[in-house]
Structure 1
Amino acid sequence: MKTFNSSNFKLGILGGGQLGKMLLQPAMNYGVDVSILDPDPASPCSYFCKNFHLGSFNDYNTVYNFGRNLDLITIEIENVNVEALKRLESEGVTVYPQPHIIELIQDKGLQKDFYKNNGIPTSPYAKIQNREELKLYAEKFPAMQKLRKAGYDGRGVFKVKSVDDLPKSFNDPSILEDLVDFDKELAVLVARNASGEIRAFDVVEMEFDPQANLVDILFTPAKIETEIEKRAKEIAIDVVEKLKIVGLLAVELFLTKSGELLVNELAPRPHNSGHHTIEACITSQYEQHLRAILNLPLGSTELLQPAVMVNLLGEKNFVGEAKYIGVNEITRLDGVYLHLYGKKITKPMRKMGHVTIIDHNLDNAFEKAKFVKDTFKIQA
């Protein structure tokens, strides 16, 4: 591996969305030469990266040709061509997170098998091939059906309430999970570098938009017992140690009404649940990911102030060039930080940005968050 010790070091990122855009900032601080591959000529990174390459990160030849003259490749989206990354790795290009880990996380069935085989708590599940097989599990309904591949941002998830829902269910390889009677949805971000150093951020609590199945707001400190916080971090670190991943891993968990913690899903990259770290922590999740993949010492994850993050989604019934309503009103508030992703076109429920609110008092941060939600709108 060529180590990061000069301005000649070349980093490639597969994916040019908002996560890549926010990863560019710490890369600029370190003077790293960054190239980005994305299929959308209007993706957020296209306006900020001089080495922006238009092309599919799913295509073998495109990914291979993009990466063969780079020193290190990372991702901001899991849906990439793993076989091309494996070839690049075999030819001496460093790929973090490692291709075999991306491959595992791309498939929710393999994810669940990993949990089961490694003693990581998760909900009971069955792997099914199609709708006909799903019928055999009618006694488990209501249950959650999740596509094994290509599901993200609430897509690829279907609640099978009864046999009457079967015609609307997925007819592709999927998993069927027992319905979890959960009290809270939590997430822990953990980083590991190639030297084996590990650091975890504080637990965040997430509240989801029931229609879009997307995170509406999240906050930290989470409203949980100290013992639950400790246990959630231990589980997340255990996952990272058993994967031996290099980079950042988001571990999403259910806290059941009986007090049990169950791992739901993993994301091997910067994650929506860590946006607040830019202002609220000594080290942001983006710098931490960069430090990890460059095998630098990991930064402090200390929380400087309580924080609330609000996702900014495109308004219903508006499609077209984005117009922002309420910018002056919300930025007038102390501790409110606006992040717009630079997406030119808005549509209903599209992630267009986020706002982080930090305050010495979490209740005060929530009041400001409510004002932001009521005031700031993205229309067309």
Structure 2
Amino acid sequence: MAKDFYGELQLGILGGGQLGRMLIQEAINYNVNVHVLDPDKNAPCRKLCNRFETGSLSDFETVYNFGKDLDMITIEIEKVNVDALEKLEEEGVIVYPQSRVIRLIQDKGLQKQFFKQNDIPTAPFQLISTKENLYETQIAFPYMQKLRRDGYDGKGVKRIQSTQDIESAFEAPSLIEELIDFDKEIAVIVARNDRGEVATYPLVEMEFNPEANLVEFLISPSILSFEIQVQAEEIAKKIANDLQIVGLLAVEMFLTKDGQILVNELAPRPHNSGHHSIEGNVTSQFAQHLRAIFNLPLGSTAARSNAVMINLLGEAKYEGLAKYDGVEEVLAIEGVFVHLYGKKYTKPFRKMGHVCIVNDDRDLAIKNARLVQEILKVKA
């Protein structure tokens, strides 16, 4: 950046959840002044930033007024008012990732079209306007219907098995895509700065909670074949360069049973699939995001050890003031790191924290992670 920003830069974060919280923990190391906007007055960031403002992320005036006196804005969630960000960019506020990137990624239909236009492998798809379009489609049953906007954490996705399911399908503009018979869900996080430097994190393998459709268990680094790992990392680099993004990009992919890699979707920010990097890699994803948006040299993404990440989700039958059972017990296990997000209330499947388990012995890391899953519970 043009100015000497250490201790001077006024950085705004749209969103005050756990991603913003962990980003602030890294930003403190640069003496950056952090301002946060979030609709929840009790958001996890509220006590960690220099200024916390309560307000809508989707309201033009709120986002514009929040950002107009800042040097730079970044995001921890894509559902923000892009028109306001465009105006701020026009007035000289730096927005990373760029507003045009956020606009594209907000719409899963535009994402898919971007993949097709740039020869990025993805599942066959079709865009529809209303659920009536589902009675005449080019994609055969069964298929997945995904809302073009506002779907996240497993929401906004339906499996359509037959014409009987169409009545309960989403009415809003959607995309439908061929149901992929995949072997694994995998992800690569890639960073790119304004100099065009690009760095990828080692490929990770993920397991999803079948009830909530959330990442529940992640293993890094992958032990898939070298060819698969290289191919996945090259796809992520290509997407980052094609987008000319500045910042971090999570690329979620399917590995099919016949060995193909298909890109599922993108997130232009720190992501659940990179939480292990705090303990598991030389440079955490949060430190890397800051390096990228500050146009600093990107850090090493090398794995320090085998790392397993578990999402700490609210138990299914509990809602209310959060209570954590088993914290002391799991902290007695070597290589266990607990991250609680500061959320006052729990509800079923709400992300309340994560745990990273590291060990030079991969099998032991996985064994200890399964043990942590059994012991540590979020109740009310």
1:246 aligns with 2:246: yes
Q: Tell me if structure 2 keeps the 8 A contact 1:314–1:350.
A: yes
Aligned residue number for residue 343 of structure 1: 343
Cα distance between partner residues in 2 of 1:266 and 1:51: 29
Aligned residue number for residue 36 of structure 2: 36
Cα distance between partner residues in 1 of 2:370 and 2:192: 35
Q: Tell me if structure 2 keeps the 8 A contact 1:138–1:163.
A: no
Cα distance between partner residues in 2 of 1:290 and 1:252: 21
Aligned residue number for residue 218 of structure 1: 218
Aligned residue number for residue 151 of structure 1: 151
Please identify runs of 4+ aligned residues in structure 1 that moved more than 4 A. Answer: none
Question: CA offsets, 1:114-162, max 9 Å, x none?
Answer: 0000010001000000110111128611000000000000000000011
What is the CA-CA distance between 1:7 and the residue it aligns to? 1.6
Change (3 A) 1:139 1:270: closer
Change (3 A) 1:6 1:111: same
3-state DSSP of counterpart to 2:8: coil
Cα distance between partner residues in 1 of 2:247 and 2:139: 41
Cα distance between partner residues in 1 of 2:5 and 2:370: 45
Which stretch has the larger CA shift, 136-145 or 295-304?
136-145
What is the CA-CA distance between 1:6 and the residue it aligns to? 3.5
Aligned residue number for residue 197 of structure 1: 197
Aligned residue number for residue 260 of structure 2: 260
Aligned residue number for residue 104 of structure 1: 104
Q: Map of 1:223-242 to 2, 5 A cutoff?
A: 223-242=223-242
What is the CA-CA distance between 1:3 and the residue it aligns to? 3.6
Aligned residue number for residue 53 of structure 2: 53
3-state DSSP of counterpart to 1:46: coil
Cα distance between partner residues in 1 of 2:145 and 2:234: 28
Cα distance between partner residues in 2 of 1:138 and 1:80: 33
Q: Map of 1:63-102 to 2, 5 A cutoff?
A: 63-102=63-102
Q: Tell me if structure 2 keeps the 8 A contact 1:120–1:235.
A: yes
Aligned residue number for residue 287 of structure 1: 287
Question: CA offsets, 1:169-208, max 9 Å, x none?
Answer: 1011000000111101000000000010110000000000
3-state DSSP of counterpart to 1:337: strand
Aligned residue number for residue 9 of structure 2: 9
Aligned residue number for residue 129 of structure 1: 129
Change (3 A) 1:165 1:138: farther
Q: Map of 1:350-369 to 2, 5 A cutoff?
A: 350-369=350-369
What is the CA-CA distance between 1:223 and the residue it aligns to? 3.1
Structure 1: runs of 5+ lacking an equivalent: none
3-state DSSP of counterpart to 1:149: coil
Aligned residue number for residue 182 of structure 2: 182
Q: Tell me if structure 2 keeps the 8 A contact 1:221–1:307.
A: yes
Change (3 A) 1:17 1:139: closer
What is the CA-CA distance between 1:2 and the residue it aligns to? 4.6
Q: Tell me if structure 2 keeps the 8 A contact 1:36–1:49.
A: yes
3-state DSSP of counterpart to 1:47: coil
Cα distance between partner residues in 2 of 1:178 and 1:147: 15
Cα distance between partner residues in 2 of 1:131 and 1:228: 37
Q: Tell me if structure 2 keeps the 8 A contact 1:185–1:207.
A: yes
Question: CA offsets, 1:211-257, max 9 Å, x none?
Answer: 10000100012131110000000001000010000000000010000
What is the CA-CA distance between 1:50 and the residue it aligns to? 3.1
Q: How many pairs are equivalent?
A: 380
Could you state the TM-score of these two structures normalised by the residue count of structure 1?
Answer: 0.99
Question: CA offsets, 1:32-71, max 9 Å, x none?
Answer: 0000000001110012223001111111000000000000
Q: Tell me if structure 2 keeps the 8 A contact 1:138–1:162.
A: no
Question: CA offsets, 1:258-280, max 9 Å, x none?
Answer: 10000000000000000000001
Q: Tell me if structure 1 keeps the 8 A contact 2:139–2:176.
A: no
Aligned residue number for residue 377 of structure 1: 377
Change (3 A) 1:139 1:255: closer
Instruction: Please tell me the residue identity of whatever aligns with 2:305.
Output: Q
Instruction: Please tell me the residue identity of whatever aligns with 1:335.
Output: G
Q: Tell me if structure 1 keeps the 8 A contact 2:183–2:256.
A: yes
Change (3 A) 1:124 1:320: same
3-state DSSP of counterpart to 1:189: strand
Question: CA offsets, 1:289-310, max 9 Å, x none?
Answer: 0000000110000100011000
Q: Tell me if structure 1 keeps the 8 A contact 2:144–2:157.
A: yes
Structure 2: runs of 5+ lacking an equivalent: none
3-state DSSP of counterpart to 1:211: coil
Cα distance between partner residues in 2 of 1:273 and 1:64: 30
Instruction: Please tell me the residue identity of whatever aligns with 1:340.
Output: L
Could you state the TM-score of these two structures normalised by the residue count of structure 2?
Answer: 0.99
Aligned residue number for residue 271 of structure 1: 271
Cα distance between partner residues in 1 of 2:17 and 2:173: 28
3-state DSSP of counterpart to 1:45: coil
Root mean square deviation of aligned Cα: 0.9
3-state DSSP of counterpart to 1:232: helix
Which stretch has the larger CA shift, 216-225 or 141-150?
216-225
Cα distance between partner residues in 2 of 1:139 and 1:153: 25
Change (3 A) 1:139 1:57: closer
